């Protein structure tokens, strides 16, 4: 009792019970490695909590619990909570020491998760572990109070033990590598450790069981499996008298607690249902919240139903222990911005692609909006070389600088063309169509090498990549003729030449290799790698491998959480013209690397280029794309957005030499000036000057597609999304691309096209906040089926929160220019992801984000599990400084989700895996103004909702879906499914209930279809959102105005109001009567142009048929007598 009073008195002395910003930090709250400072405060007044871990003191008088990253205590009979810790650090899973003098907990106050304990005797917190990139799920004391056992890892956690007084400790369980061990507890005699275990980190659409309980013997390190239950077994808790074990399991669709007599082995149900377990996510805080037996072993303290409950062991009776938290919660800065959409007649292209200098360096060839341009460099005006109206890509100069070779793609396939540098003499040199890439002249200009793919492989590809199994490395004469096959590419890419052309150089798996012209004698010259990023994903030919999932389970070997993450391989390596150096692109940076001639492969790490195995240098400051050498190797070129950068090798070396000389002279002068002051220490001034490459913005303007017209939509029901307003039999007048007037009997100006929509319903165009629309990478198709499908289904605005590549920048411009039919295409660009970075400081975070704010102009970024808490705080600070709105990857990680919420991130992608969410989370999310986009079709914590709709809606037979979706895509997704679930097994309705609570609290929720089924999938997501009891009008607001507000676009989009952009949907039926009526689309209007909802044809202001040749596939005609 004395110890408990002492520790609580210490808390009170720390001044933690009365919170205010002016309050001085104490040993319990200061954390130098968390750079973010609290900028906001919100009320936290609640008597219910989400995922609350609890413990009870050895004297049975005090209960500890955690809530929203802070620790609290209450008397064991209940009452007003006393706050023990506060601040932005996330403290969780408190455990009293056996003597009651210490409180062990998991915290990221050091910038990363570690174990800490509060010591009443020392009147301070003690850090036990010093990790920087590990996840700690939980920890437990040994009965003697000297040791702590804990679970630690990236995703596949293992079991460790450490002494309370320090040291590095030891690993108790390390094999097999795929074994995940969490939830450790120690038996009352100290001899055994009980834990939850499974194989791998998690599985999507999981089949049970997922976890069982194991026992580790501290005498001999033997491990035994204790349970074997279909519903899994997890989160063991042991009584103090050594008699009882309680653990969680799933029965049907709910979680309950089993009581096991450790002496007899008998089991019975103790409590059912309780808190839904986290076995179908990654269980970052255990599979269930921590529980505790009372000291007399007669009762169990556990949280469920939002309450802290006391369960009697004898009969299972349960009573809630009342508590009330009444305080403040500290939040990071508000990072919300408005992005007005301007009606300017023209816009500057966001991106130049494949820019290459002429041999004399006086011209630059590149593509913009998939059209070929040449300009006098650096100050010339870009000019188109052809009048083609199809894709032109990947230009390359002839050695004499007189000609440019490039590839094309149209509905008829692709070809290789050669054109004079002044635009004359366009010649198609391939006789048959195909997909042609990576054209390069040999050194004397007599041959062009390239990679050839069968035309059907690319036509039939509806993802960003295609099946390259039949790709050939070939050559052809620049004047045309037959194609000569050198060899199958076999995953090799980037063919090029060096000082002579007796060998062809290529890339594969991060290596520079070469072959002879007959495809033989392959040699590996160098393998180049870079930094070890925070995590890794599968790569192929230097690009991420697409996946339906946002992150891939570790059992597939490509999870971001590999325990031993390898260095990043070079995605591109280009040997210099003289063969002595290479430029290597690693992650998003470009390096100049010396390549020795050794006769055998060398491995070069540029992780720290200054200490590489051979002279190397990182030459990009902010990253770069499309790297290339000048013809003589004097300069290195790359692009970033619309900027072209030139690095002069000799100038850079001379500059560096001058800096070294200046530094040496400064040191000599300092030594001379102070020679008479023998006692003074010489401190030469640090030289910080650096060479900066030349940067030129290539300004190509395109005309924006804004109609000059007047259209009246007359006589419809109008659901404006301005509050709950509904106008019956109203009119909407659209002039050009904006709404001019709304109401009953609006006057029709002369020359206006009137469209009778009596009996129909008009709603704003849908906003898809999480729209993965990944068209082909590298070579771009002329009309993207994904874009057409989404627009036809009423989605007029999209934001892709992870595009993997920058191809989207060009696609978005093409839509805005009217070269392609589609919704408004916003994106984060490539995610600021765990696979690309290992952020070391705030300066690096600022540099990384400048790519997006200055060059890509995305307005948004995706902070994609980028690093530990410290790194994530650097990112949000940089985003605020650069007026970028960041969103975050959910990652099946409740703890991560809550820390992002506290740090002020304004967006969250994917469902928060835990449910139900109670007021502590839902009200905080609303107050913090975070838009939560749950992507229910790929629900976390249970089966994906898309399975429910595939099982019940038969999308394959949907004629509209068949029209807009390639057969292969639709058949693969809908004719045979790998999984089936009882309706009660689905969790999307539970997640939807949490979203309802956030909206009712005044918060923002978004619709994100996740690209699961383009077009119709958006409606499935809306219906799933409403399934949790949300008001229908609120579900429609989530699909429109709340999504627009969450993207900072609500001044122009999201509601039907005068002055806003004319993005509208005309429905045959009223969605307020049945939410499924969202899919009764007659017309879709985007930016003042009206489209037929069934076939995508434009019907006003002028008529224009949709060209669907890019994805049209013919079905076989029955021409045999076979009958089945």
Per-residue pLDDT tens digits for 364-398 = 999 999 999 999 999 999 999 999 999 999 999 99
Confirm if 571 and 539 have CB atoms less than 8 A apart.
yes
Average pLDDT (489-518) is: 96
Of 499, 501, 523, 643, residue with least CA distance to 582: 499
Confirm if 717 and 760 have CB atoms less than 8 A apart.
yes
User: Which has the higher per-residue pLDDT, 225 or 540?
Assistant: 225
Give the containing element (helix H, strand E) for 662: helix 649-673
pLDDT band at 619 (very low <50, low <70, confident <90, very high): very high
**What letters, b where the CB count within 10 A reaches 16 and e where it falls short, cover 727-752?**
beebbbbbbbbbbbebeeebeeeeeb
Average pLDDT (48-75) is: 98
User: Which has the higher per-residue pLDDT, 148 or 671?
Assistant: 148
Predicted confidence (pLDDT) per residue in 236-249, tens digit:
999 999 999 999 99
| Distance of alpha carbon 332 from the chain centroid | 21
Q: Is the pLDDT score of 14 beyond 60?
A: no
Residues 6+ apart with CB under 8 A from 978: 205
- 969: phi > 0 → left, psi -120 to 50 → alpha, else beta; which? alpha
φ/ψ of 74, rounded to 5, equals: -140, 155
Average pLDDT (203-219) is: 97
Confirm if 739 and 1056 have CB atoms less than 8 A apart.
yes
What is the structure's pLDDT at 788?
Answer: 98
Burial of 164 (0-12, 13-18, 19+ CB in 10 A): buried
Angle, in degrees to the nearest 10, between helices 869-881 and 894-903: 40
In whole angstroms, what is the distance from residue 740 CA to residue 430 CA? 53
Predicted confidence (pLDDT) per residue in 759-768, tens digit:
999 999 999 9
Residues, the chain: 1124
Confirm if 167 and 146 have CB atoms less than 8 A apart.
no
Strand partners, 1066: 762, 1083
Q: Is the pLDDT score of 318 beyond 50?
A: yes
Tokens of 998: 């956030």
In whole angstroms, what is the distance from residue 55 CA to residue 655 CA? 63
Q: Is the pLDDT score of 475 beyond 90?
A: yes
Least confident piece of the model among 165-169, 564-568, 1107-1111: 564-568
Predicted confidence (pLDDT) per residue in 884-911, tens digit:
999 999 999 999 999 999 999 999 999 9
Predicted confidence (pLDDT) per residue in 289-299, tens digit:
999 999 999 99
In whole angstroms, what is the distance from residue 187 CA to residue 144 CA? 11
What is the structure's pLDDT at 656?
Answer: 85
HSE-CB at 281 with a 13 A cutoff on CA atoms is 29
Q: Is the pLDDT score of 15 beyond 60?
A: no
pLDDT band at 673 (very low <50, low <70, confident <90, very high): low
Q: Is the pLDDT score of 304 beyond 70?
A: yes
Predicted confidence (pLDDT) per residue in 1044-1065, tens digit:
999 999 999 999 999 999 999 9
Strand partners, 544: 539
- 803: phi > 0 → left, psi -120 to 50 → alpha, else beta; which? alpha
Give the containing element (helix H, strand E) for 655: helix 649-673
In whole angstroms, what is the distance from residue 199 CA to residue 279 CA? 12
pTM to 2 decimal places: 0.94
In whole angstroms, what is the distance from residue 908 CA to residue 886 CA? 9
pLDDT band at 329 (very low <50, low <70, confident <90, very high): very high
pLDDT band at 32 (very low <50, low <70, confident <90, very high): low
Q: Map out the domains of the chain with their CATH numbers.
A: 2-331 (2.120.10.30), 499-532+567-662+691-699 (no CATH), 710-827+890-1100 (3.20.20)
Q: Where are the beta strands (DSSP E) in 898-992?
A: 907-909, 931-933
Q: Is the pLDDT score of 312 beyond 50?
A: yes
Neighbours of 617 (CB within 10 A): 20
What is the structure's pLDDT at 462?
Answer: 86
What is the structure's pLDDT at 9?
Answer: 45
Share of the chain above pLDDT 90, in %: 88
pLDDT band at 547 (very low <50, low <70, confident <90, very high): low
Of 149, 104, 98, 95, residue with least CA distance to 126: 104
Q: Is the pLDDT score of 683 beyond 50?
A: no
Average pLDDT (744-749) is: 96
pLDDT band at 793 (very low <50, low <70, confident <90, very high): very high
Angle, in degrees to the nearest 10, between helices 945-953 and 1016-1026: 110
Predicted confidence (pLDDT) per residue in 915-969, tens digit:
999 999 999 999 999 999 999 999 999 999 999 999 999 999 999 999 999 999 9
Predicted confidence (pLDDT) per residue in 139-193, tens digit:
999 999 999 999 999 989 999 999 999 999 999 999 999 999 999 999 999 999 9
Predicted confidence (pLDDT) per residue in 1009-1050, tens digit:
999 999 999 999 999 999 999 999 999 999 999 999 999 999
Angle at 1012 between CA 937 and CA 467, to 5 degrees: 150
Q: Is the pLDDT score of 745 beyond 90?
A: yes
Residue with tokens 């808390």: 11
What is the structure's pLDDT at 666?
Answer: 75
Q: Is the pLDDT score of 676 beyond 80?
A: no
Share of the chain above pLDDT 70, in %: 94
| Distance of alpha carbon 216 from the chain centroid | 37
Q: Is the pLDDT score of 1096 beyond 60?
A: yes
Residues 6+ apart with CB under 8 A from 223: 173, 214, 215, 216, 217
Neighbours of 482 (CB within 10 A): 11
- What is the pLDDT of the chain when averaged over all its residues? 93
Q: Is the pLDDT score of 267 beyond 50?
A: yes
Q: Is the pLDDT score of 560 beyond 60?
A: no
Predicted confidence (pLDDT) per residue in 826-848, tens digit:
999 999 988 888 899 999 999 99
Of 170, 227, 160, residue with least CA distance to 197: 227
Angle at 868 between CA 925 and CA 584, to 5 degrees: 125
**Cα dist from 119 to 55, 56, 142, whole Å:** 17, 17, 17
What is the structure's pLDDT at 559?
Answer: 41
Average pLDDT (85-100) is: 97
Of 526, 489, 531, 523, residue with least CA distance to 511: 526
């Amino acid at each position: 009792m004395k110890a408990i009073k002492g520790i609580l008195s210490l808390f009170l002395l720390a001044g933690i019970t009365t919170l205010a910003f002016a309050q001085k930090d104490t040993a319990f709250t200061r954390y130098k490695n968390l750079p973010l400072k609290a900028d906001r405060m919100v009320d936290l007044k609640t008597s219910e909590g989400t995922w609350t871990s609890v413990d009870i003191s050895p004297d049975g008088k005090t209960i500890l619990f955690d809530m929203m990253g802070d620790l609290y205590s209450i008397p064991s009979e209940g009452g007003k909570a006393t706050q023990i810790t506060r601040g932005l650090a996330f403290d969780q899973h408190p455990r009293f020491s056996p003597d009651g003098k210490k409180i062990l907990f998991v915290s990221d106050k050091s910038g990363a998760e570690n174990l800490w304990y509060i010591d009443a005797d020392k009147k301070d917190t003690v850090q036990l572990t010093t990790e920087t990139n590990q996840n700690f799920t939980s920890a437990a004391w040994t009965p003697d109070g000297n040791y702590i056992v804990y679970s630690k890892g990236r995703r596949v956690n293992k079991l460790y033990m450490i002494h309370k007084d320090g040291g590095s400790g030891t690993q108790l369980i390390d094999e097999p590598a795929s074994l995940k061990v969490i939830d450790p507890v120690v038996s009352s005699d100290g001899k055994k450790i009980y834990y939850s275990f499974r194989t791998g980190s998690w599985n999507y659409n999981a089949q049970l069981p997922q976890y069982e309980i194991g026992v580790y013997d501290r005498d001999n390190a033997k491990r035994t499996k204790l349970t074997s239950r279909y519903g899994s077994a997890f989160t063991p808790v042991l009584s103090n008298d050594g008699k009882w074990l309680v653990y969680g399991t799933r029965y049907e669709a709910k979680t309950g607690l089993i009581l096991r007599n450790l002496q007899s082995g008998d089991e019975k149900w103790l409590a059912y249902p309780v808190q839904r377990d986290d076995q179908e996510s990654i269980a970052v805080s255990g599979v269930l919240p921590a529980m505790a037996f009372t000291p007399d072993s007669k009762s169990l303290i556990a949280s469920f139903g939002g309450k802290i409950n006391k369960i009697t062991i004898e009969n299972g009776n349960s009573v809630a222990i009342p508590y009330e938290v009444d305080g403040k919660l500290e939040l990071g800065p508000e990072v919300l911005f408005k992005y007005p959409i301007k009606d300017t007649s023209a816009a500057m292209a966001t991106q130049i692609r494949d820019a290459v200098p002429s041999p004399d360096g006086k011209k630059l060839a590149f593509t913009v909006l998939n059209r070929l341009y040449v300009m006098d460099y650096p100050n010339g005006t870009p000019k188109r070389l052809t009048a083609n109206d199809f894709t032109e890509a990947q230009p390359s100069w002839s050695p004499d600088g007189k000609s440019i070779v490039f590839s094309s793609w149209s509905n008829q396939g692709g070809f290789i063309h050669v054109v004079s540098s002044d635009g004359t003499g366009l010649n198609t040199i391939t006789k048959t169509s195909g997909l042609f890439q990576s054209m390069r002249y040999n050194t004397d200009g007599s041959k062009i090498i390239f990679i050839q793919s069968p035309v059907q492989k690319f036509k039939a590809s509806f993802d960003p990549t295609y099946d390259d199994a039949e790709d050939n490395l070939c050559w052809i004469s620049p004047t045309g003729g037959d194609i000569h096959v050198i060899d199958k590419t076999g995953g090799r890419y980037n063919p090029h030449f060096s000082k002579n052309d007796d060998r062809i150089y290529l890339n594969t798996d991060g290596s520079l290799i070469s072959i002879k012209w007959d495809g033989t004698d392959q040699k590996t010259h160098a393998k180049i790698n870079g930094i070890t990023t925070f995590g890794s994903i599968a790569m192929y030919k230097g690009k991420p491998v697409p996946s339906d999932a946002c992150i891939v389970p570790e059992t597939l070997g490509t999870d971001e959480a590999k325990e031993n993450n390898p260095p990043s391989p070079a995605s591109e390596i280009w040997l210099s013209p003289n063969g002595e150096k290479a430029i290597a692109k690693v992650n998003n940076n470009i390096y100049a690397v010396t390549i020795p001639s050794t006769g055998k492969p060398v491995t070069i790490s540029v992780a720290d280029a200054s200490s590489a195995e051979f002279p190397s240098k990182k030459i990009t400051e902010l990253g770069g794309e499309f790297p290339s050498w000048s013809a003589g190797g004097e300069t290195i070129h790359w692009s970033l957005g619309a900027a072209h950068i030139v690095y002069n090798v000799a100038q850079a070396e001379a500059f560096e030499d001058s800096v070294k000389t200046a530094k040496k002279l400064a040191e000599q002068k300092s030594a001379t000036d102070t020679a008479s002051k023998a006692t003074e220490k010489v401190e030469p001034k640090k030289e910080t000057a650096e060479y900066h490459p030349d940067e030129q913005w290539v300004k190509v303007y395109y005309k924006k597609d804004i109609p000059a017209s007047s259209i009246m939509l007359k006589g419809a029901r109008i659901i404006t999304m301005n509050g709950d307003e509904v106008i019956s039999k109203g009119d909407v007048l659209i002039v050009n691309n904006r709404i001019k007037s709304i109401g009953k009997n609006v006057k029709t100006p002369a020359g206006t096209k009137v469209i009778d929509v009596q009996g129909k319903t008009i709603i704003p165009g849908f906003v898809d906040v999480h729209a993965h629309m990944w068209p082909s990478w590298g070579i771009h198709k002329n009309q993207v089926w994904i874009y057409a499908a989404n627009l036809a289904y009423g989605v007029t605005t999209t934001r892709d929160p992870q595009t993997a590549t920058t191809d989207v920048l060009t696609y978005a411009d093409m839509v805005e220019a009217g070269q392609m039919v589609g919704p408004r295409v916003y994106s984060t660009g490539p995610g600021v992801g765990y696979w690309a970075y290992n952020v070391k400081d705030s300066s690096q975070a600022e540099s990384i984000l400048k790519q997006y704010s200055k060059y890509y102009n995305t307005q948004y970024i995706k902070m994609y599990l980028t690093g530990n808490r410290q790194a994530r705080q650097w990112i949000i600070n940089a985003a605020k400084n650069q007026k970028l709105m960041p969103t975050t990857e959910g990652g099946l990680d409740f703890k991560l989700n809550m820390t992002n919420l506290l740090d002020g991130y304004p967006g969250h992608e994917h469902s928060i895996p835990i449910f139900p969410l109670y007021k502590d989370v839902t009200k905080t999310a609303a107050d913090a103004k975070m838009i939560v986009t749950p992507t229910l079709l790929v629900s976390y914590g249970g089966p994906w909702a898309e399975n429910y709709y595939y099982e019940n809606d038969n999308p394959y037979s949907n004629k509209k879906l068949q029209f807009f979706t390639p057969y292969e895509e639709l058949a693969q997704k809908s004719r045979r499914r790998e999984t089936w679930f009882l309706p009660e097994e689905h969790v999307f309705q539970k997640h939807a209930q949490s979203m309802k609570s956030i909206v009712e609290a005044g918060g923002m929720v978004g619709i994100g279809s996740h690209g699961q089924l383009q077009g119709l999938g958006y409606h499935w997501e809306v219906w799933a959102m409403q399934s949790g009891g949300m008001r229908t009008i609120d579900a429609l607001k989530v699909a429109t105005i709340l999504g627009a507000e969450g993207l900072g676009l609500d001044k122009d989009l999201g509601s039907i109001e005068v002055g806003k952009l004319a993005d509208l949907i005309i429905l045959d039926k009223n969605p307020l009567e049945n939410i499924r009526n969202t899919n009764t689309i007659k017309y879709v209007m985007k930016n003042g142009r009206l489209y037929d909802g069934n076939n995508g044809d434009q019907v006003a202001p002028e008529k224009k048929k949709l060209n669907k040749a890019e994805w049209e596939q013919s079905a076989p005609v029955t021409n045999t007598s076979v009958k089945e």
